[in-house]
Amino acid sequence: MREETRRWIAADKRHAWHPFTAQGEWTDPGHEPLVIVRGEGPWLWDSEGRRYLDGNSSIWTNIHGHAHPAINAAITAQLDAIAHSSYLGFANPRASELAGRLCGFFPDGTLERVFFSDDGSTAVEVAMKMSLQFRMQTGEPERTRFAAFVNGYHGDTMGAAALGGVDRFFERFRRFGPGVDFVETVAQLDPANLNAVVIEPLIQGVNEMRPWPDGMLAELRDWCDRHDVLLILDEVMTGFGRTGTMFACQQEEVIPDFLCLAKGLSGGYLPLGATLTTGRIYDAFLGGPEQAFYYGHSFTANPLACAAALASLGLFESEQTLERLPAKVEHLGRLLADLARDHEEVVEVRQRGLITGIELREGLGLSVCLKAREHGLLTRPIRDTVVLMPPLCVGMGELELAVGAIRKALAEA
């Protein structure tokens, strides 16, 4: 091991605290973490010079690949002008342009306003607080309850954690947040004093990549309309082409009252969250200071992140990202079908676009992911489900490498 790698790992184990990580195992002297130092396209390199395909898009964020010249240039140009200025009482060009671009994906008179924040969890927090204050300012202060779906995941800040349906992450914190009803189907929803329903459209992420039945999202929108319940869509994972369309909700022609975005919003380059909402919601906040939405972050609408996001949206057009996806999705589906046919250790394959969960026999998830590293694939499991969610720029041969690495790892594990 190189001396600089040893130095970085020693400092990490002495001072750092990693998310969703058992620190006792991480700091064990026998554990050698990978130190990622470089990326290009769908590839990553560690400090020892080993190359890996970025099999989970750097925790579901990267869209067009690492070190993309267009995004790099946009960030550099913005950096030459200004890196950051307050969005509290001021505007900046990149945020103005980005708000317009995001609203432009939806029909006029629907999602008209964008509130920027820092990440997916805060984008959900914004929707929660806005929806509650909306009820207070429209004569329905008693409508304070939320509904969420069992095994859903919506972030880790306190409000978002209350919506989390994964007990091992959130059970100890739910009592500190708002009242939430957890359901498995639309039929189980109770409209009494219900403010809003929150869902990950088309597919749940942390629930081992489990798709919803076709038509379920449209059914939920119809139910919300009939009972005047607000619909919050958490597209932090599914947004920006992951499911095959720019946003998952477009596949069932559903427009929510709140659309929460992050991760791929900046192309996976910089922290940036956005909550889109309707004119109806916005109008309830017009007036004097007593009706203002007192919420925000120091780096809200950061110009560097907004510049990256605009460049990323431009690449969807110049590189025809969405138009090239169907062939990749189909090819990946064939590769996964062959994998499942050839290996009895594969319990089930679940796929929406380029989002894939490969459920393995109990106890194999982590060992297969670790073995796959030796064959050039970097990803991680959710329990025993191997997540395969590469950047959208991935090529056919790279998809074959990814599934081939899992195939080899299964044989060895």
Residues 64 and 312: beta-carbon distance below 8 Å: yes
**Is 122 within a domain?**
yes
Residues 6+ apart with CB under 8 A from 246: 105, 239, 240, 316, 322
Q: Is residue 9 in some structural domain?
A: no
Q: How far apart are CA 14 and CA 411, in angstroms?
A: 36
Classify residue 111: in a domain, yes or no: yes
Please list the residues that pair with 180 across neighbouring strands: 146
- Does 341 lie in the same domain as 304? no
Residue 229 has a pLDDT of: 98
**CB-based contact 384:360 (threshold 8 Å):** yes
CA 334 distance to own-chain centroid: 25
How many structural domains does the chain have?
2
Residue 59 and residue 107 in one domain = no
- The alpha helices in 104-215, defined as continuous H runs, are 120-136, 158-163, 167-170
CATH, residue 48: 3.90.1150.10
Query: Could you tell me if 182 and 102 lie in one domain?
Result: yes
Q: CA 383 to CA 231: how far, in whole Å?
A: 30
Confidence at residue 176, expressed as pLDDT on a 0 to 100 scale: 82
Residue 146: closest CA among 179, 189, 98, 103: 179
- The terminus-to-terminus CA distance of the chain in angstroms comes to 25
Residue 193 lies in a domain: yes
Structural domain harbouring 205 = 70-318
With respect to residue 372, please indicate whether it lies within any of the assigned structural domains.
yes
Among 318, 348, 373, the domain boundary falls at 318
Determine, yes or no, domain membership for 248. Answer: yes
Q: Taking the CB of residue 323, how many other CB atoms lie within 10 A of it?
A: 10
54/124 same-domain check? no
48 is a domain residue? yes
pLDDT the model gives residue 173: 82
The answer on 273 and 139 residing in a single domain is yes
326 and 306 fall within a common domain: no
pLDDT in tens, the chain (413 residues): 899 999 999 999 999 999 999 999 999 999 999 999 999 999 999 999 999 999 999 999 999 999 999 999 999 999 999 999 999 999 999 999 999 999 999 999 999 999 999 999 999 999 999 999 999 999 999 999 999 999 999 999 999 999 998 888 888 888 888 899 999 999 999 999 999 999 999 999 999 999 999 999 999 999 999 999 999 999 999 999 999 999 999 999 999 999 999 999 999 999 999 999 999 999 999 999 999 999 999 999 999 999 999 999 999 999 999 999 999 999 999 999 999 999 999 999 999 999 999 999 999 999 999 999 999 999 999 999 999 999 999 999 999 999 999 999 999 98
Relative to beta strand 377-378, strand 51-54 is parallel
* CATH number, position 248: 3.40.640.10
Separation of alpha carbons 119 and 122, rounded Å? 6
In a shared domain, residues 313 and 389? no
Residues 54 and 181 in one domain: no
Co-location of 164 and 305 in the same domain: yes
Round to whole Å and give the CA distance between 46 and 378.
11
Same-domain check for residues 181 and 296: yes
CA–CA separation, 181 and 94 (whole Å): 39
255 and 367 assigned to the same domain: no
| Residue at a domain's end among 299, 318, 337 | 318
Residue 10 counted as domain residue: no
- This model's pTM is above 0.95: yes
Q: CB–CB of 328/319 below 8 Å?
A: no
Quick one: pLDDT at residue 316?
98
Out of 265, 287, 318, a domain closes at 318
CA distance 230 to 148: 12
**AA letter at 302:** N
17: which residues sit within 8 A by CB, 6+ positions away? 23
